[in-house]
Amino acid sequence: MVNPDIQGRVYPPTQPYLVGREKVREFARAVLSSAPLHHDPEAARAAGYTDVVAPPTFPIVLQDFTLQQLLADTDAAVDFSRVVHGDQRFSYSRPIVAGDELVGTMTVTSVKQLGGNSMVTSSTEIVDGGGAHVVTAISTLVVRAEESA
Partner 1 sequence: MSATVLPVFENLAVGDTVIERTVAFSRDTLVRYAGASGDFNPIHYRDDVAQSVGLPGVLAHGMLTMGVAASPVSEWIGAAGFVRDYQVRFTRPVPVDASAGASVSVTATVGALDPELRTARIDLKVMFGGQTVLGKSQLVVSFT
Using CB under 8 A, list all residues that contact partner 1. 23, 26-38, 40, 43, 46-48, 53, 55-57, 60-61, 64, 81, 84-92, 94-95
Distance separating alpha carbons of residues 43 and 109, to the nearest angstrom: 39
Please name every residue paired with 8 in a beta bridge, in sequence order, or none if there are none: none
Q: How far is the CB of 124 from partner 1 (least distance, A)?
A: 14
Nearer to partner 1, 28 or 126 (CB): 28
Nearer to partner 1, 75 or 148 (CB): 148
Beta carbons within 10 angstroms of residue 70's beta carbon:
21
**R_g of the chain computed on alpha carbons:** 17
Q: How far is the CB of 115 from partner 1 (least distance, A)?
A: 17
Nearer to partner 1, 9 or 70 (CB): 70
Q: How far is the CB of 5 from partner 1 (least distance, A)?
A: 27
DSSP string, 62-97: HHHHHHHHHHH-TTT---GGGEEEEEEEEEESS--B
Q: How far is the CB of 89 from partner 1 (least distance, A)?
A: 4
Nearer to partner 1, 9 or 98 (CB): 98
Strand, coil or helix: 43: helix
